[in-house]
Structure 1
Amino acid sequence: MSGVHIEIGRPQETVRHWSAKSIYFSMLEAEQSARTKAESAGFLARQLSETNSHATGMPATMAQLDIWLAEHNQMVGRQYREYLAARKAGQPRRYFRSKSQALFFLRAVAPTKLVDGSWLYGLMKHWQDPRLASLLKIYLEELGDGVEAMNHVVLYRKLLKLNACEDWKNLDEQFFTQGAIQLALAAHTDSHLPEVIGFNLGYEQLPLHLLITAYELKELNIDPYYFTLHTTIDNAQSGHARAAIDAVREAMPVFADSADYMQRVIAGVKLNDVGLSTLDIIKQFDLQGEVVRILQSKANIGQFMHSDRCVIGGRTVNDWLKDQDQVAVFLHEMEKTGWVKRHHNPEDSPFWKVIAGDKAPMFGVFTGYEQQVIYDWIAGEAIESLPMLARLGRPWRMVEKQALAQDEARHKQYGNVYDFKSGHKLTHQLRQANDFNQDQLAFERHVHGIDDEQKLMHFLVDWMSPAKHYTPLGLCATRYFKSHMDSLF
C-alpha cells in the first residue's frame, strides 16, 4: 500500500508515500484498523506540509472575512454573467464538448462527491459543544437532515446510476486524493480542529465552475440538480458559505493564541488545493484515449469470445485483443475496413450496430457510459448535426421520473416506519415483519430501548458516518439525531 524511497540530495531521510485510493477505501470500512488510522494521519500530515507554501486569497484575520466573502461572490457573479453573455453570443460550451466528456467528469469526481461533507463527521461526537453549532448544522444539511431526497451522497449515487457511471471504483489513484483528504480530516478532527474549520471555509465558498457545470450539464440532458442544489445551499447570505465564516468566529479561542488558530485555519483552507481540480479533470478528457481504454478493459475476456470468422485487417478479433498495446492499431484497422465510419452517423457503422440496441449481438457488453464515449468518437465532427435524442438520450426528467416510480413501488410494497422521501414518520407501522424490513424494525427497537442520552447519541453518530449515513438506517439515525438536537435548542 505504501512505499519508501530516498530523495536525491537527502540521503539520510526517507519519505513515505501513501496510496490515496487505498486510504480512501480503508477509511470507508465499518471498523477502521489501527494501521488505517496511522496511515491516514501520515497522509494528512504530508498534505499539510506540501500545501504550506501555497498562496491563498483567504484573509488571515477574522475581521476581513466578511469583506472577502462579499467580494468573492461579486467576482463569481460577474464572471458568470460574462460566461452567459458569451454563450448567448454563440460561443460553444466552455467545459464539455460532448455528453461523453460530461459523463467522464461525473465519474472522475465521484470519489469526492460520494464523501460530500465527510470532513465534518469528526465533530459529531461533540454535539453538546455550542461552539460547533454552525458546523453541526452544515453536516446535517449535507446529510439532508435524514431525508433521502435531500441527502447529497444519495443524490450523487442516483445521478451516477441514471447515467450508467457506477464503475467509478476503477478510476486511477489521482482521482481519490481529495476524497482521502476529507476522510482523513474526519478521522483526526480531535488533533486538527482548526484545519477542519479552515477546509470547510474554503470548500463551502461558491466557485464559478459549479455554476458553469450545472448550466452545461442541463444542455446535455444530464440532471443538474446535485450541482444547482450547491449553488443555492452554499449562498453567502444564509447558506453554508455564511455559516462557514460564522463557524470560524464561534470556535475562535478566547484565552489561547488566536493568531495560531487563524494560521491553522488557513492551512486547512489550502487543503482544498490537494489533488486534481475540477478544471484539471475536465482537461484530462481525451476521447480517442478513452475509447482505447474502454476496449482494453474488455480485452481480457473479449480475446476468447469472438468467432475466428471475425477477421479485420487480416487478423481475428481475438488475436487483436490478445495484446492490449494493439488496441489503438485495431481501431485504426476498423476505420480502414469500414467497420467504423468516423464523422458520420454511428448508425452507419457496423461496429456500432453490434454493440448498441436491445437485440445487438454484443448487448450488455458495454455500459451506458462506454456506449456514449464510442458514439461520440464515431460521430466526431458530425455530432452536432445528429438528432438530439440519438446523441443525448432521453430527457433526464423522463429518466428520473421512471426511476422515482420504481422507488415508490418498492416502498409501497414493503412499507416503512418512515417515509424516506419526506422524512415524516408514517401514521401506521409496518404491515408485517418480513425479510426485507428486519433491519429497520430491529433498529427502531434498539433506538427506543436506549434510555441513556450519551449512549443513544453515540449509537446514532456511528450510523451517521461517511460510510453509512446514506443507507436507509443511516438516514433514520440522522432523523433521530436531528430531532433530539431540535429538542435541546
Structure 2
Amino acid sequence: MSLLLQTLLLVVLAFAAVRACEAVARLFARSRARRRLDVESPSSPAIKPTIDEKDSAAQAVPALEQDNAQLEEMQLHKDLYFKLQNLEQYPGILPQSWDLLISLLSETVADAQKQPNSGILSLSNYTRESLAMFLQAENDKTTQQWEQYLARRKAGSPKEMFGDRKEAEWWLKQAAPVKYVDGAWLGHINKITAPFALRHITKNAWQVMSEELGDGDLSKNHVHVYRALMEEIDSGVPDGDTIDFIHSRHELNEPRVWKAALAQLLVSLFAADFLPEALGFNMAYEGLPLHLMKTVKELEELKLNPYYFVLHVSIDNADSGHAAMAMDAAVDYIEQARKASGDEAAHQAWKRVQAGFILAEGLPTTPESPSLKKPVSVSFPRNDTEAAVVKIFKAKAPVAHKIHCSSRLRIGRHTLVEWLEPKAFADKQWQMDFLNDLSNCRPWVIAGSSEKSRLIRELAWEGKMFGSFTQTEVEVVKRWIDELGGPAFDAKRYWSFTGREEITSAQRLDRKQDILCDYPVLQDDDDDDDLSKSAASQAQLHPFPPPAATTHSRPNYPIIPTPNLTHLLPLWFTHPCLLESHVSVPFKVATPTGSAIVRLLRAHSGFEREGPGVAGMDEVRRPAADVVGLVELGVEICRRAGIKEPKDLREVMEEAVGEGEREGATFARKMLGWSMRPMKNEALLLGLSTACVELHERVAASDLLSPSSRDVLLQIAERERESLSVCREGIDKDGARHGAFCRGYAIGRREVGRSFGEAQP
C-alpha cells in the first residue's frame, strides 16, 4: 500500500506549476482591497515566491508583487476610466459599470463588517448628534496623529510619505488618475431629472463639486492646479480624459489608485439609483486625512509645489468647508426620507449613506512610495486549514520520498524529491513555498474551486487515488483549495446590508429607462426631420446675435399677456438640462469654456455670484426663500397660475400631454437626449442655451412672476449672457461648429416663439 500511495502521490505532484490568469468575470468577485485605516500606510501586498520553469512545455510565470490577475484587473480599470470620461461614445459599458459599482460596494462593506464596532459601522442607529460626534472624533484623531507626526519629525525621524525628491515626483505622477477626476463622485447629481423635493440637497452637495471646479474660475480649478503641478515636475503624462493617458508607456501602474479613481467615476453615475451612496462617499472623502497634511510638509521640504494639497487642507475643513457641507447634505437626505416615508425609510437611507462612506474609506487613493513600503510579515501556517494540509503532507512525505530520487519532474521551483525530503519539509518556509507552488498546479488545483480541481476528482470514488487519503483528509484538501481564491465576499452584500431589493444590470437593462427621470439614458439622438427642415429658415428669420449683444443686454420687452403655459412649462422645466452634463467629467471642465459653463449652471441653481473666495457653508445657511433658481421660478409660475405644482419633470410632461401639448413634451425629450451627449452636441446645446436666455428675459417681462422674482430672473439672464459670450469665442472660427451653434439658436428661438404665440413659418 505504501508503494501505491507513493506512486499516486507522484501522479499528483508531477504536474508543473503554471500561473493561473483569473477570468475577468472573477476579477470583481475577489476581495483585494484592504480597509483603509490610514490611507497612506495600508498593508503592503503579499509577495508570492518565484516559481521556476518546469521541464515540460508548460511554463510557470513568476508571481511578483503585481500578479497577472492584478495586472489584468488594473488594465480593465484603466479601460473603464477612459470610457467613463467619454461615456457618450461608449454607452455599452453601462451594464458593466453597474455591476462593478455593486461589486465595489459589496467588497468594501464586507471588509468593513469584519470590524463591525469600528468606523462608521459603530453608528448602527443614526441621529444627527451621533453622526456629528463621530465625525468630530475622527477629525480629533487625525489632529492628534498629526501632532504625533510632527513630534517624531522634530525628534529626527525620517519622512513618512517620500524617501527623496525623485520618489516624491514619482508619487505625484502615480496619483494623477485620482487627482484628474477630483469631484467626479458628485459629477452626475443635481440633474433636472431628479425629484424637485431633493433639489436643495443635490444643489448643496453639488456646491462641493462647484468649488472643486473653482466655482468657474479656471485658476482655482483643482484639476487645472494639479495639471500645472504635473507640468512643473515634467511628468510627461497627457490629458486625463484621453486614450493616451491609460497607455502603459506612461508607467502609471499603481492598481489601487486606478481602482479608487474608478470608484469616484462610478458612485454618482446612476444618480437616480445611488444618490445617498454618493452623499455618503462625499462625507467620507471630504474629511481631513492625515496623509494630506504630511504631503504638504514633505513636499515643502523637498522644494516641490504643495499648493494643490494646501488647497484641500483648507477648503475641506469641518467648520465652514467641504466636510461640514458634506455632512449637512447627507443629514438632509436622511431627514427628507424620514419626513416622506417614516423612520424605517430613514434607517435605510442611513444604511445607504454608510455604504457610500465605506466605499470611500475602503479604497486607498494614494500610491505607496517604494522606499517606505513596510516589509511583508507572514505568519505560517496562515490559518487552521493550511495547518491541517501541512500536517497531512508532512505525515506522507517520509513514505513517498526516496522512491522518486531519479525523477526530473518539478513542482514549481524544486523537484519532487527535493520537496518531499523529510528534513527540508520540517522547515516552515519550505512548507509555505511547497503549498504556494502546489496551489498553482492547474488543472489539478484550481484556486477557489475544489469541484473543478482534478485532484479532488481523483480522490473521489472511481478516481485513480481513491482511498489514498481518508475522507477527513479529502475534506481538508477540498477546504484548502476553496480558500485559495482569497477571502471571498458575497457579491450581493451591498443589497443585504442596505435592505434594498436587488437590481441586476440585466434587470436594469430590461427595465425601460425613462429619460424624464432616469440617468444616464443614451438613446438615439438623430435629428427629427421637422427640426432639420426648419433650422435653416429659422436661422434666417432669427440670426444669431452679434457678440456685442450677448453681454450686459437686457431687452426692454413690454409686459405681455400670459403666454401658452402648456407649451412653455415643458420647455421651462426641461431646458436647464442643456449644459448639465458638460461638467460631469472634471478634466473636461478644466478649460475656459468649461469654467464659463460652471458659472452658468451656478446661476441656474440659484447660487450667488462668484466672489474672490469660496462660499462654503454660507451658501448652505442661506434662507430657502433666498435660494431661487430656474426650478423654483418654474414652481412659482405654476403656483401663480393656479396649476398644481409638479413634483418632478415627468409630472410636468404628463400634465402637458393631458392638456394636448404633445409637441412641447416631445421637444423637451429631444433636449434631454441631446444633453446627454455634451461633447458631440456642444455647439448645438450652446446655441439652444443662448435662445433660452431670451426665454428668461421674456418671462421676466411678463406677469408670470412676482416683481422680485423678475429681478432674480433678469440677474440670471445677465450671468448667462456673460458666460455664453466666453463659450462663443472659439465657435465663430469653426464653420461646422458655428453652423451647429446657429442651428441650435434657431431651433430654440422657434420654441420660445411658440410659447409666446408667435406665428411659425
| TM-score of the superposed pair, with normalisation by structure 2 | 0.40
Separation in structure 2 between the aligned mates of residue 196 and residue 267 of structure 1, nearest angstrom: 9
**Aligned partner (choices 265, 269, 275) of residue 353 of structure 2:** 265
SS at match of 1:54: helix
Give the drift of 1:154. Answer: 0.8
Q: Which residue in 2 is equivalent to 1:74?
A: 140
Equivalent residue number for residue 690 of structure 2: none
Write the letter of the residue equivalent to 2:108.
Answer: T
Q: How far, CA to CA, are the matches of 2:547 and 2:282 in structure 1?
A: 36
Give the Cα separation in 1 of the matches to 2:254 and 2:270: 22
Following superposition of structure 1 onto structure 2, how do residues 61-460 of structure 1 map, counting pairs within 5 Å? 61-63=126-128, 64-126=130-192, 129-167=199-237, 169=246, 170=250, 171-172=252-253, 174=255, 175-252=257-334, 253-254=337-338, 255-256=340-341, 257-278=345-366, 281-283=368-370, 454=573, 456-460=575-579
* Cα offsets for 1:61-90 (capped at 9, x unmatched): 133111112212222112112211222222
User: Which of 85, 90, 96 is the aligned partner of 1:28?
Assistant: 85
Aligned AA (2:127): M
Is the alpha carbon distance of 1:193 and 1:211 closer, same or farther for their aligned partners in structure 2, counting shifts above 3 Å?
same
The CA distance in 2 between the partners of 1:453 and 1:476, in whole Å, is 22
Q: Within 2, Cα distance between the matches of 1:6 and 1:219?
A: 40
TM-aligned CA distance change 1:6 to 1:32, over 3 Å: closer
* Structure whose CA Rg is larger: 2
Moved more, 467-476 or 267-276: 267-276
Matches of 2:27 and 2:280 in 1, distance apart? 33
1:188 is displaced (CA, Å) by 1.2
Contact 2:213/2:222 (<8 A) preserved: yes
Superposed CA RMSD in Å reads 3.1
Tell me the matched-pair count: 324
Residues in 1 aligned to 2:598 and 2:203: alpha-carbon distance in whole angstroms: 16
Specify the code of the residue in structure 1 equivalent to 2:295.
T
| AA partner of residue 486 (structure 1) | F
Structure 1 residue 42: Cα displacement = 1.2
Query: CA offset at residue 235 of structure 1?
Result: 0.5
Secondary structure class of the residue paired with 1:125:
coil
**SS of equivalent residue, structure 1 residue 200:** helix
Deviation of 1:110 after TM superposition, in Å, equals 0.7
Distance 1:6 1:195 in 2: 23
Contact 2:190–2:203, Cα closer than 8 Å, also in 1 = no
Q: Give the distance between the partners of 1:453 and 1:155, measured in 2 at CA.
A: 36
Counterparts of 1:228 and 1:235, CA distance in 2: 12
CA distance in 1, matches of 2:285, 2:214: 18
Distance, in Å, in 1 between the alignment partners of 2:210 and 2:365 is 26
| Partner in structure 2 of residue 464 of structure 1 | 583
Task: For residue 477 of structure 1, report the CA deviation from its aligned partner.
Answer: 0.3
CA deviations over 1:115-149 (Å, ceiling 9, x no partner): 01111111131486112232021111111101011
Are the counterparts in 1 of residues 174 and 254 from structure 2 also a CA contact under 8 Å? no
- Judge conservation of contact 2:182–2:212 (CA < 8 Å) in 1: yes
- Displacement of 1:39 in angstroms is 1.4
Q: Which residue of 1 aligns with 2:727?
A: none
For structure 1, list consecutive stretches of 5 or more residues without a partner in the other structure. 9-15, 287-439
Tell me the TM-score normalised to structure 1 length: 0.61
Question: Counterparts in 2 of 1:10-25, with a 5 A limit?
Answer: 19-25=76-82
Q: Partner of 2:279: helix, strand, or coil?
A: helix
Q: Is the 8 A contact 1:23 1:39 kept in 2?
A: no
Q: Which runs of 5 or more residues in structure 2 are unaligned?
A: 1-22, 30-71, 113-117, 238-244, 374-545, 556-567, 609-626, 629-761
Give a deviation string over 1:300-356, Cα, whole Å, max 9, x none. Answer: xxxxxxxxxxxxxxxxxxxxxxxxxxxxxxxxxxxxxxxxxxxxxxxxxxxxxxxxx
Letter in 2 for 1:52: V
Structure 2 Cα separation of the partners of residues 144 and 187 of structure 1: 22
Between the aligned partners of 2:313 and 2:353, the Cα distance in structure 1 is 24
Q: Which residue among 119, 125, 134 is the counterpart of 1:57?
A: 119
What corresponds to 2:15 in structure 1? Answer: none
Q: What corresponds to 2:94 in structure 1?
A: 37
The 3-state SS of whatever aligns with 1:266 is: helix
* Separation of aligned partners in 1, 2:76 and 2:547: 39
Among 596, 602, 607, the residue aligned to 1:486: 607
Distance 1:150 1:30 in 2: 26
